[in-house]
């Protein structure tokens, strides 16, 4: 790639829709500025990415000929943008109040455009798409879910590191909860949330999503108007990590006893899928319309260590890949167990990586 010196790489404000970007040509990035928002897409690695140590390394340059447009994402972005330009018409009064509050230019703590756009997309899919010209989006999402996760209604929001995805989760919780309180019979909304994280540290960090936490984001980051913060206490929010969905032994039994009984009989000592769900989700009570938020969703996928024609892994690298794949299967199995017992919506907040 040709060496290009760009003294000031920042072209856009984080508080407005990007309207400028640097141009990529056959040699890579240039200092030429294009007066438009960059379309969503990705660079195709050629040859396939190779595992070196613990990081994936792209052997090759980021050049124009390797750029592939994410057509579906761009079409969704355009549909949401058109709706935004039209004044967010067709939403509930509660949603209107929140959108006006989030987009108020006089806010002391302004929200990033990417955060607002994420919520606009969720709102559009839930409240607008089936009544306007977005039915094709819902149809494509349904087809993708039927092909990969028929028991789950999965929607993913890809957000870069540092763009504030925890704030987006708080906005999602507020939007659903306040709409459910205003219209309890409206099945589009829920006031019960299952948030699953990849580890204990992240789980503890997400306590800011609990309305009764002293450092909650609804107050500290002004996500919700003061008059609407108290009603948020009606929400049931369960934060756990995926390890909790691993079946546990119900009764202690000696190893010899299990060997004598055989594998078919020893399953009696281990929790069934329903028992796992009851243990993990008891804090949600009998709630049926669950909004499931999978934080760090790039951990949850289907795949094999040697998939897609990539480099064959051996030794420690293969064992590490197999461990990662097994953890991913725990994630997806856990969600299926939970969704089999309730009308479960799936919302993923993630950093860009691969998806099943």
Q: Residue 307: what pLDDT?
A: 47
CA 187 to chain CA centroid, Å, is 21
Structural domain containing residue 345: 135-301+315-350
CATH number for the domain that contains residue 321: 3.40.50
What is the count of structural domains for the chain? 2
Judge if 139 and 60 occupy the same domain: no
Judge if 175 and 319 occupy the same domain: yes
Three-state DSSP state, 96: helix
Phi, psi dihedral angles at 117 (to 5 degrees): -65, -35
Look at residue 92 and tell me if it is in a domain: no
Q: Residue 226: what pLDDT?
A: 93
Three-state DSSP state, 16: coil
Low-confidence ranges of the chain (pLDDT < 50): 53-54, 264-266, 303-310, 338-346, 349-356
Q: Give me the helices (H) in 37-191, please.
A: 71-85, 93-102, 113-123, 135-148, 165-182
Judge if 204 and 55 occupy the same domain: no
Question: Residue 126: CA atoms inside 13 Å, Cβ hemisphere, count?
Answer: 25
Task: Give the closest residue to 126 by CA, choosing from 187, 188, 79, 200.
Answer: 188
Helix or strand holding residue 295 (H, E): strand 289-295
Question: Residue 237: CA atoms inside 13 Å, Cβ hemisphere, count?
Answer: 24
- The rounded distance, in Å, linking the Cα atoms of 241 and 330 is 11
Judge if 172 and 277 occupy the same domain: yes
User: 348 - beta bridge partners?
Assistant: 156, 294
- The rounded distance, in Å, linking the Cα atoms of 207 and 217 is 9
Q: Residue 156: what pLDDT?
A: 85
- The rounded distance, in Å, linking the Cα atoms of 75 and 322 is 36
Judge if 145 and 37 occupy the same domain: no
Look at residue 257 and tell me if it is in a domain: yes
Give the count of beta carbons closer than 10 Å to the beta carbon of residue 201. Answer: 10
Tens of pLDDT, residue by residue over 180-213, are 999 999 999 999 999 988 777 667 889 999 999 9
Residues whose CB falls within 8 Å of the CB of residue 72, separated by 6 or more in sequence, listed in order: 140
Phi, psi dihedral angles at 80 (to 5 degrees): -65, -40
Look at residue 100 and tell me if it is in a domain: no
Look at residue 96 and tell me if it is in a domain: no
- The rounded distance, in Å, linking the Cα atoms of 159 and 163 is 6
Judge if 268 and 142 occupy the same domain: yes
Judge if 155 and 294 occupy the same domain: yes
Judge if 62 and 167 occupy the same domain: no
Look at residue 276 and tell me if it is in a domain: yes
Judge if 183 and 287 occupy the same domain: yes
Judge if 175 and 36 occupy the same domain: no
Task: Give the closest residue to 297 by CA, choosing from 223, 202, 226.
Answer: 202
The DSSP annotation for 7-58 comes to: S----S-TTS----EEEEETTEEEEEEESSPPPPEEEPPSS--EEETTEEE-
Look at residue 117 and tell me if it is in a domain: no
Tens of pLDDT, residue by residue over 336-348, are 554 444 434 445 5
Look at residue 296 and tell me if it is in a domain: yes
Q: Residue 297: what pLDDT?
A: 58
Q: Residue 48: what pLDDT?
A: 53
Task: Give the closest residue to 58 by CA, choosing from 42, 73, 74, 69.
Answer: 42
Judge if 150 and 29 occupy the same domain: no
Look at residue 213 and tell me if it is in a domain: yes
Q: Residue 262: what pLDDT?
A: 53
Q: Residue 344: what pLDDT?
A: 41
Judge if 172 and 45 occupy the same domain: no
């Amino acid at each position: 790639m040709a060496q290009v010196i760009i003294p000031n790489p920042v072209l856009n404000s984080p508080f407005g829709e990007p309207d400028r970007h640097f141009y990529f040509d056959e040699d890579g990035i240039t200092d030429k500025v294009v007066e438009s928002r960059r379309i969503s897409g990705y660079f195709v690695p050629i040859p396939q990415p190779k595992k070196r140590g613990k990081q994936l390394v792209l052997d090759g340059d980021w050049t124009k000929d390797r750029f592939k447009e994410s057509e579906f994402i761009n079409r969704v972005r355009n549909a949401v943008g058109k709706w935004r330009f039209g004044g967010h018409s067709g939403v509930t009064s509660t949603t209107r109040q929140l959108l006006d509050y989030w987009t108020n230019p006089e806010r002391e703590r302004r929200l990033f455009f990417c955060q607002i756009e994420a919520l606009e997309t969720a709102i559009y899919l839930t409240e607008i798409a089936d009544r306007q010209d977005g039915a094709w989006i819902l149809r494509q999402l349904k087809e993708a879910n039927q092909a990969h996760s028929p028991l789950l209604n999965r929607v993913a929001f890809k957000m870069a590191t540092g763009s504030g995805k925890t704030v987006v989760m708080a906005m999602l919780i507020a939007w659903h909860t306040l709409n459910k309180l205003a219209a309890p019979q409206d099945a589009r909304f829920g006031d019960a949330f299952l948030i699953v994280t990849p580890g204990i540290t992240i789980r503890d960090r997400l306590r800011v999503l609990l309305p009764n936490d002293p450092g909650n984001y609804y107050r500290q980051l002004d996500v919700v108007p003061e008059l609407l913060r108290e009603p948020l206490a009606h929400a049931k929010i369960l934060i756990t990590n995926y390890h909790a969905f691993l079946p546990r032994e119900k009764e202690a039994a000696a190893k010899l006893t299990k060997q004598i009984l055989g594998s078919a009989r020893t399953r009696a000592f281990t929790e069934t899928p329903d028992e796992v769900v009851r243990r993990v989700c008891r804090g949600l009570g009998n709630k049926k319309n669950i909004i499931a938020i999978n934080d760090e969703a790039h951990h949850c996928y289907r795949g094999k260590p040697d998939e897609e024609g990539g480099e064959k892994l051996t030794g420690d690298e293969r064992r590490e890949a197999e461990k990662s794949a097994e953890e991913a299967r725990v994630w997806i199995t856990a969600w299926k167990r939970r969704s089999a017992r309730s009308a479960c919506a799936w919302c993923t907040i993630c950093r860009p990586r691969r998806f099943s």
